[in-house]
Homo-oligomer: A and B are copies of this chain.
């Protein structure tokens, strides 16, 4: 654990991930666009980087946890990023992006002898805080082995989808699509039940102790009941249903349900 790891992105997910790496004893040099966010990690041993490029040690490991395809592309193509990371370096990318974006980014790294590991994660910020994330990863075996201890320090389980970059993001998009579909159908069901005079909590209690006794239904069921039957849309729901639909369209797979969920999410967010 003597090498210093570069860390970029202290958003809702990035901050608890960085905190858990620091707690596990890793030395992190951290960059965030809003520099003040780095400050609360300094007492845990975090080192403030003076610039995006400054997080990197040539031949070392850099982790990015940025919000979307555009943000990832902007980091990778920023002046000096790949040069500084350099040959033998590993870039561990935890964002959920289109598999195509991931492959394009990986190719840019490969040209310079840098290894690219995609490792999108499942879990809300609370889960990240509690080291309860689930990781999907893909990339070259040696690179995955090198970053495995880091992934172990932040998650409850790692699923390896092989060496083809894009595969882990495909699984992540599938999972997010299933989560969004579940969330939206729970909301529609509970609203229908409640307006018909049936207690939504009783419906959730029955279904989540029988057919749907799993984390997503239990947690979303409770949250949607508490939220008066509403499953909020947000830009992540819009982005991920959109990415799913595009990724299906590109290989000629019809996805009418993803299309519908995307439309519903866009319309709800507009309101």
Q: Given contacts A192-B251, A257-B260, is CB(A198)–CB(B170) below 8 Å? A: yes
B260 touches A210 (CB 8 A): no
Which residue on chain B has the smallest CB distance to residue A185?
Answer: B181
Docked Cα-Cα span, A178 to B217, in Å, equals 10
Q: Given contacts A182-B182, A185-B177, A211-B214, is CB(A196)–CB(B260) below 8 Å? A: no
The one of B159, B171, B184, B244 that contacts A257, using a Cβ cutoff of 8 Å: B184
A161 within 8 A of B: yes
Which of A2-10, A33-41, A199-207 forms contacts with chain B? A199-207
B191 touches A253 (CB 8 A): yes
Contacts of A189 in B (CB 8 A): 174-175, 177-178, 244
A258 within 8 A of B: yes
Give this chain's copy count: 2
Which residue on chain B has the smallest CB distance to residue A213?
Answer: B214
Q: Given contacts A177-B189, A211-B216, is CB(A197)–CB(B157) below 8 Å? A: no
Docked Cα-Cα span, A253 to B191, in Å, equals 7
Docked Cα-Cα span, A259 to B205, in Å, equals 25
How many A residues, CB 8 Å from partner?
Answer: 59
B188 touches A255 (CB 8 A): yes
Which residue on chain B has the smallest CB distance to residue A190?
Answer: B174
Which residue on chain B has the smallest CB distance to residue A214?
Answer: B214
Which residue numbers of A lie inside 8 Å of B, CB to CB?
99, 122, 134, 136, 157, 159, 161, 164, 166-167, 170-171, 173-175, 177-179, 181-182, 184-186, 188-193, 195-198, 202-203, 206-207, 210-217, 244, 247-248, 251-253, 255-258, 260-261, 263-264
In addition to A122-B210, A214-B217, 9 A-B residue pairs with Cβ atoms within 8 Å of each other are: A167-B197, A167-B198, A185-B257, A188-B257, A192-B247, A196-B247, A212-B215, A212-B216, A214-B214
Cross-chain pairs A/B with CB under 8 angstroms, 16 sampled: A134-B211, A136-B206, A159-B206, A167-B198, A178-B182, A178-B185, A182-B182, A192-B251, A195-B251, A195-B252, A195-B253, A211-B215, A211-B216, A212-B215, A256-B260, A260-B260
